[in-house]
Structure 1
Amino acid sequence: MKFGLQLGYWMAQPPENAGELVVAAEKAGFDAVFAAESWGSDAFGPLTWWGSSTERVRLGTSVVQMSARTPAATAMHALTLDHLSGGRAILGLGVSGPQVVEGWYGQPFAKPLQRTREYVGIIRRILAREAPVTSDGPHYPLPYTGPGSIGLGKPLKSIVHPLRADLPIWLGAEGPKNVALTAEIADGWLAIYYAPRLANMYNDWLDEGFARAGARRSRDDFEIAASCQVIITDDPATELERMRWIMALYIGGMGAPELNFHAQVYRRMGYEREVDEIGRLFQAGKKAEAAAVVPDELILDTAIIGDEEHVRKQLKVWEAAGVTMMLVSVPGIEQLHRLAPLVDQ
């Protein structure tokens, strides 16, 4: 099982130690470095800037929000990063949620599965560079001939020859239909809030996609990168308390009350009552009370927190569940150095 460093997205200011972490991760044997975006920093810029200090690690987006860019624009970013890095780019894509898609990007959220299939198909054709790219839509028609068109659009082929026509595309997915689609059309799954005890359920979803006609991969050559807080500590209680606040935010506040994909994930794990209560309290502005509702078990279903021996044992559990990469965030260089001996265990 490989390790990836998740830089995440920026908060109020750029992180001060990200460049140091990226270099240290490569030296420690990490396989990849990923950057994310929400509604502030973008995912490609940090990879280009900090990735220029590396020679080996793969550089991935986790994730690029599809509504932020047309498929052609995303393909241009990806092929550019791939050339600059010497073939180390991974294009991680995701639909995000309706609050961001419609509130920030001003795009419709409806039919996310259909949009994802169409979006990935266009990027594949751009990277293949076999012919000028056309698409019948309905979401990303090329050339565009709809309202406002002056009728002069023409099919085009990338001026730049992509370094790799098969540049890997991974999808961030949480629900059963999205995960099955990921197994069908993508090269890897960026799994958030993955719980090893539910591996059989995930495998059912994945197998549905692998079994579809024209599926791109099989289980043998498909990557599963699971985001996971892996924290080596002799004081797990303190870390659990910190994580309680983070989980309350994502379960109770990262999404509309009517549609929160993160909350749905934990409902599938069996935490329906806790999720409802966290959401009720968080939406009422009672964030401390919402955090207090988060049980240790909910956190530890999707995180590894404890001393080095405990972490080593749990990593084996995740690997046995089918995870091919642990995608970890670290607060600083000290924690990365503590993880380093586990990378090649």
Structure 2
Amino acid sequence: MRLGLQLGYWGAAPPEGAPALVAAAEEAGFDAVYTAEAWGSDAFTPLAWWGASTRRIGLGTAVVQISARTPAACAMHALTLDHLSGGRFSLGLGVSGPQVVEGWYGQPFAKPLARTREYVRVVRDVLARQAPVTNDGPHYPLPYSGEGALGLGKPLKPITHPLRADLPILLGSEGPKNVALTGEIADGWIAVFYSPRLGGTYEEWLGEGLARPGARRTRDEFEVVTNCQIIVTDDRRPGLDAQKPALAHYIGGMGAPGMNFHADLFVRAGFKEAVDDITSLFAAGRRAEAVAAVPDEMVDEISIVGDADHVRREIARREAAGVTMLLTGCRTAAEIHALGAVVGTAELSL
């Protein structure tokens, strides 16, 4: 099992101590550092800034939102960071949800699978640099010829030659159709939350996509990356409780009524009653009660909190289910080194 440091997206202010965390992750033998975005900080800038001091560790986005940039602009970010890092960058993409896409980016959310397929195709065409990039799809037409067009658009190739035409593209997805699409067109899957008890179900969804004609990877080549908070401790209670506010927010406040992909995941994992309670309490503004309604078992299903033996067992459980990398949000360099010692990553750093 490989480990990644998930720096996530910023809250009200930039996080303190991120450079020290990145340095510790590289020293401890972590495989990668990832950043994310919601509707505040972007994912690319912090990754470039903090990644500039690294020499070995991979740099990735988990995830950037496809509605935030045209596919050509996203490909420019990717090829730039790949050059600057010497071929260590991986591009994680996701569709987000209708509240963010339509409310923040002012873009339509409809047909997310079709938009994703078209977006990834254009990004790959830019990185391949085999011909001027054109696209006759309805979502990202190139050259643009719709309302307001002057009719002067010219197909172009990137001026800068990409370092790697096969730069890894991973997709953040949660529903069965989106996960199947991920298996078909991507190099890996980024799970926002991963329930090991649903490992067989996930494999079926991925397998459907991997078996489609023209699928990009075989299962042996395919990455499964998931966020998984890992806390090595003899006192589980503080570690479990610390995760409940964010979990309640994702379940109760991150989706639109009737369309919350995060909540749907936990319903599939057997937590429907808790999801209903959290959702209704959050909607009523009773957020403290919503947090209190998050059961320990739910936290345990998507994170690992316990002593060294427990951590090793739970990591093995996820590895057996098909996960290849765990992204964890360590808060201190000491936590990173402690986890690296438990998992045995330090010996891989040099």
Q: Is the 8 A contact 2:312 2:343 kept in 1?
A: no
**TM-score of the superposition, structure 1-length normalised?**
0.98
Are positions 1:128 and 2:123 aligned together? Answer: no
CA distance in 1, matches of 2:191, 2:144: 34
Please show how residues 122-271 of structure 1 align to structure 2 within 5 Å.
122-271=122-271
CA contact (8 A) 1:34 1:60 kept: yes
> Residue in 1 aligned with 2:49?
49
Root-mean-square deviation (Å): 0.9
Q: Which runs of 5+ in 2 are unaligned?
A: 346-350
Distance 1:226 1:315 in 2: 12
Residue 301 of structure 1 aligns to a residue whose secondary structure is helix
**Runs of 4 or more consecutive aligned structure 1 residues displaced over 2 Å after TM superposition:** 342-345
CA drift of 1:340 comes to 1.5
**Alpha-carbon offset, residue 343 of structure 1:** 3.7
Aligned to 1:301: 301
Amino acid at match of 2:135: S
Partners in 2 of 1:115 and 1:254 — Cα distance? 21
Equivalent position of 2:348 in the other structure:
none
SS of the aligned residue for 1:247 comes to: helix
* TM-score normalised to structure 2 length: 0.97
- Identity of paired residues, percent? 65
* Counterpart position of 1:88: 88
1:280 matches 2:284: no
Q: Does 1:324 align with 2:321?
A: no
Q: How many residues align?
A: 345
Q: CA deviation at 1:308?
A: 1.2
User: Residue by residue, what CA displacement relative to the aligned partner does 1:189-236 show, whole Å, maximum 9, x if unpaired?
Assistant: 001210111111000001000100000001110111111011111211
Residue type at the aligned position of 2:168 = P
**Partner amino acid for 1:280?**
S
* Cα separation, 1, equivalents of 2:314 and 2:89: 29
Structure 2 CA distance for aligned equivalents of residues 55 and 240 of structure 1: 34
In structure 1, distance between residues paired with 2:310 and 2:344: 16
In 2, Cα distance between equivalents of 1:162 and 1:77: 11
Which whole-Å CA distance do the structure 2 matches of 1:194 and 1:91 have between them? 20
The residue identity in structure 1 corresponding to 2:64 is V
Unaligned runs of 5+ in 1: none
1:115 aligns to what? Answer: 115
SS at match of 2:33: strand
What corresponds to 1:14 in structure 2? 14
Any conservation in 1 of the 2:34–2:59 contact (CA below 8 Å)? yes
SS in 2 for 1:7: strand
Q: Which amino acid aligns with 1:33?
A: V
